[in-house]
Amino acid sequence: MIGTILQIYYRLIRNQILFLQINFHLMKRNLILFGFIILSAWSCNSNCNIPEEVSQLKKEISIDRLEDELFQSTSQHDVYEFLKKYPLLTKEFLGSDQYPDDSVLANILYSRITNPYIDSLRLEATTIFGDMEDIKDQLEDAMSWLHFYYPEAKTPKIQTMVTGFGTSEMYVSDSLIIIGLDYYIGPGASFRPNEYPEYILKRYQKQYIIPAMFLLLADNYVKTDYEDNSMLADMLYYGKKYYFTEKLMPCSPDSLIIWYTEKELKDVNDNQHIIWATFLQNELLFETSHIQKEKFLGERPNTYEISSICPGRIGAWVGWEIVRKYAMDHPDTPLQEILQNENALQLFNESNYKGIAPGLF
């Protein structure tokens, strides 16, 4: 009953809101775009100075290059002993539960590491990643921010592997993070995972590792109401994950966090009013159909329902903008409280989001 009343109320005000939004944007578009450029430059410079209260929380993180140890194996028994030594990696990253016992996995893994093409991948990973000091520094900075917002947070162990695309690219928990380096060698690699289309493959590069890591870690800190099946609830769930990652990586461009190219990000910012108008005109916020939601939230090369050049997952990007607007309008609300807010409708209403980039009016 309450949902029906809300939808009726929503429809009554929709056209008026839409008319005001579009005309407001058209009148002030040039001013807004200029302001956006200035604001972006200012925020990037100001956010990259890590405060002393954050930097003093920095802890040294070591990265265990387990692929080096694995590739020293000269027999299936050596691989089996390696699997026994690292039970979490064996179960969570290599998926030992899929096999009758670990000896079967050891045989398969030994066959892989003795294949010449896997050795090429390992050498290319060594060339691209080197000693991984740059990734280590980024990770230590991000973890400092995590400990600033969540003092009780653990510092996870970091391990790397090269398996020839035999498992997933990354495993993340609050105590252990495993990175499949062969996935992230980049477009110059001799071999790339063939199960992914090109528009997804573009994010499998070195610079995307840390953002991807914290987007996965965000699940430990973001709450959502699983009984709310609306598009809006899903949008804000993803939006809160992006906002969490943004707060831990304030020096990283939005394009790395959401996996858009710089051009795609510029296009969606420039046309935010059109994207928002589509959501309003088609009453998408209260949509519960999985098929319809996938069109705006799922992995697709483009969201054709809006434009042939509008990137996929556009609903998640709008959700991020709504969360940002809420945070801007409620500066005294802690990050933890925003992420824990399960009431999607309340968060949206109190964000006063109107389809214009936050901070431009």
pLDDT higher than 50, residue 38: no
Q: Render pLDDT for 283-335 as a digit per residue (tens, 0 to 9).
A: 999 999 999 999 999 999 999 999 999 999 999 999 999 999 999 999 999 99
pLDDT of residue 47: 53
Q: Model confidence at 132, in pLDDT bands (50, 70, 90)?
A: very high
The two structure tokens encoding residue 348: 């949206």
The confidence score (pLDDT) of residue 48 equals: 75
The whole-chain average pLDDT of the chain stands at 87
Per-domain residue ranges for the chain?
12-46+221-351, 59-219
pLDDT confidence of residue 165 = 87
What secondary structure, in 3-state letters, does the chain show?
A: CHHHHHHHHHHHHHHHHHHHHHHHHHHHHHHHHHHHHHHHHHHHHHHCCCCHHHHCCCCCCCEEEHHHHHCCCCCHHHHHHHHHHCHHHHHHHCCHHHCCCHHHHHHHHHHHHCCHHHHHHHHHHHHHHCCCHHHHHHHHHHHHHHHHHCCCCCCCEEEEECCCCCCCCEEECCCEEEEEHHHHCCCCCCCCCCCCCHHHHCCCCHHHHHHHHHHHHHHHCCCCCCCCCCHHHHHHHHHHHHHHHHHHCCCCCHHHHHCCCHHHHHHHHHCHHHHHHHHHHCCCCCCCCHHHHHHHHCCCCCCCCCCCCCCCCHHHHHHHHHHHHHHHHCCCCCHHHHHHCCCHHHHHHHHCCCCCCCCCC
Which two structure tokens, joined as six digits, stand for 256?
A: 């790395």
pLDDT at 163 over 70: yes
**Which has the higher per-residue pLDDT, 361 or 104?**
104
Per-residue confidence at 357, pLDDT binned at 50, 70, 90? low
- φ/ψ of residue 123, rounded to 5: -65, -40
Q: What is the pLDDT of residue 232?
A: 98
Lowest mean pLDDT among 35-39, 122-126, 222-226, 243-247: 35-39
Alpha carbons 120 and 102: distance in angstroms, whole number: 26
- Split at pLDDT 50, 70, 90, the class of 46 is very low
When pLDDT is averaged across residues 327-344 and rounded to a whole number, the result is 98
Question: What is the structure's pLDDT at 27?
Answer: 38
- Give the residue with greater pLDDT, 38 vs 65: 65
Q: Are strands 170-172 and 176-180 parallel, antiparallel or unpaired?
A: antiparallel
> Which of 287-296 are b and which e, b meaning 16 or more Cβ less than 10 Å from the residue's Cβ?
beeeeebebb
The arithmetic mean of pLDDT across residues 26-38, rounded, is 36
Cross-strand partners of 177:
158, 172
CB 234 within 8 A of CB 200: no
What pLDDT sits at residue 49? 79
Quick one: pLDDT at residue 251?
93
Do residues 140 and 61 touch, judged by C-beta distance below 8 A? yes
Strand order of the sheet with strand 176-180? 63-65, 157-161, 176-180, 170-172
The whole-number pLDDT of residue 236 equals: 98
Which has the minimum average pLDDT: 40-49, 112-121, 212-221, 243-252? 40-49
Does position 139 have pLDDT exceeding 70, yes or no?
Answer: yes
% of residues, the chain, pLDDT over 70 = 86
- pLDDT of 222 reads 98
With a pLDDT cut of 90, the percent of the chain lying above it is 80
Beta strand 157-161 with 176-180: parallel, antiparallel or unpaired? parallel
pTM: 0.85
CB 193 within 8 A of CB 183: yes
The pLDDT score that the predictor gives to residue 166 is 80
The predicted pLDDT at position 23 comes to: 41
Q: Which is more confident, 308 or 168?
A: 308
Tokens of residue 234, six digits: 């899903």
> Could you tell me which of 3, 15, 4 has the C-alpha nearest to residue 345?
3
pLDDT of residue 189: 92
Task: Assess whether pLDDT exceeds 60 at residue 19.
Answer: no
